[in-house]
Amino acid sequence: LDLNLEDSSGYATFAAVHRTAAGASLLVLSSSDDEQLATRTVREGAQDYLVKGSFDGRLQLRSLRYAVERKRTEDALRKSETTIRAVFEGSLDGIVIMDDQGICLEANSAAGALLSSSHDQLVGNSILDYFQQDFVADWQGLRTRGSGRGEFWVQSQEGTRRLLDCSFKTNILPGQHLAVLRDITNQHNLEQQ
Tens digits of pLDDT across the chain (193 residues) = 566 666 666 677 788 888 888 778 888 888 778 888 888 888 888 888 888 888 788 888 888 888 888 888 888 999 999 999 999 999 999 999 999 888 999 999 999 999 888 899 999 999 888 887 767 777 777 778 888 888 888 877 777 888 999 999 999 999 999 999 999 998 988 988 8
CA 6/CA 27 separation, integer angstroms: 18
3-state secondary structure of 50: strand
> CA of 44: how far to CAs of 20, 37, 82, 140, in Å?
14, 11, 21, 44
Per-residue model confidence (pLDDT) at position 110: 95
Q: Name the pairing type of β-strands 27-30 and 48-51.
A: parallel
| pLDDT at site 7 | 66
Amino acid 51: pLDDT: 86
Number of residues assigned to the chain: 193
The Cα angle at residue 164 between residues 161 and 168, in degrees rounded to 5: 145
Using alpha carbons, select from 64, 98, 71 the residue that is nearest to residue 169.
98
pLDDT at 1: 57
Q: How far apart are the first and last CA of the chain?
A: 73
* pTM for the structure as a whole: 0.68
Cα-Cα-Cα-Cα dihedral of 93, 98, 84, 89, to 10°?
A: 40
Query: Given this model, what pLDDT does residue 140 score?
Result: 76
Residue type, 67: A
